[in-house]
Homo-oligomer: A and B are copies of this chain.
Amino acid sequence: MQDYIVESVDKAIDLLMAVARKPNIGVTELAKKTGVTKSRAFRLLHTMEQRKIIKRTSESTYGLGEAMLVLGITASTQTDVIRLATPILEELCQRVNETVQLRIVDGLDALCIAKAEPSRDLRVHANVGRRRPLYAGSPKCLLAFQPQEFIDRCVPLKPPALTAHTPKSRAVILEELIKIRRQGYCVSRGEVSDHQVSCAAPVFALDNSVVATIHVVAPAFRIRESELEHIIRIATSAAQRLSRALGWSEEETAV
């Protein structure tokens, strides 16, 4: 045991994360992924299964369990970003009458952790839990404010072309990230999906790091330039309000 870490618990968490990342696989493969022996993996998985942290999705594959769901829901009520964001997202949604999302960095992805949708018939559909690459579309806003070292790891040399408007090279993306940092928001016109426009604004924490981004996503055909500007303004203001609620205060501190 090094430095107060209980290794079996640590390894159990490794396995849990592995199950989350790729469900419906068995003991052997999970053991391989996490670098533990098969018998150890079996015992740790068995322990978590008894407690419903994970469950069997078939006779010999695992997935996250019901206890995990309940704990996660409880976590969302205990987590400031979510608790404070919810009313802000709902108000923003109502004002722009389009779908809005809250995203954070998880691994190499932008993970949607909250959303609000207007009830108009034609709207972009959002899903809590859905992941998007950080290097294309409005998720770039989240990426732009991460440490350069992380950015370098994220952005591929040859980003896959999702649409005709997807940035075509690493250099272009890095260029855009600079622009995003300068102007304080990000706009995407069909970079991820055709006929879809989105914009995003950063949410700052106490230490001036960006912990999340607020996104507005809309069908391209009904967003003219002037409307887009309007949306950007209120989205940015919503993000600022959330930042302040998290304890951040505007200042021009040189880092």
Contacts and interface: CB of A to CB of B under 8 A. Distances in A.
Nearest to A119: B119
A206 interface: no
A76 interface: yes
Nearest to A21: B74
Nearest to A68: B75
A78 B78 CA distance: 22
B64 A68 contact: no
A113 B43 contact: no
A242 B9 CA distance: 37
A68 B73 contact: no
Copy tally for this chain in the complex stands at: 2
A106 B129 CA distance: 22
A250 B73 CA distance: 31
A82 interface: yes
Given A9-B48, A63-B78, A119-B119, A69 B69 contact: no
Interface of A: 1, 4-6, 8-10, 12-13, 16-17, 20, 23, 42-44, 46-48, 50-51, 53, 63-79, 82, 94, 106, 111, 113, 118-119, 127-130
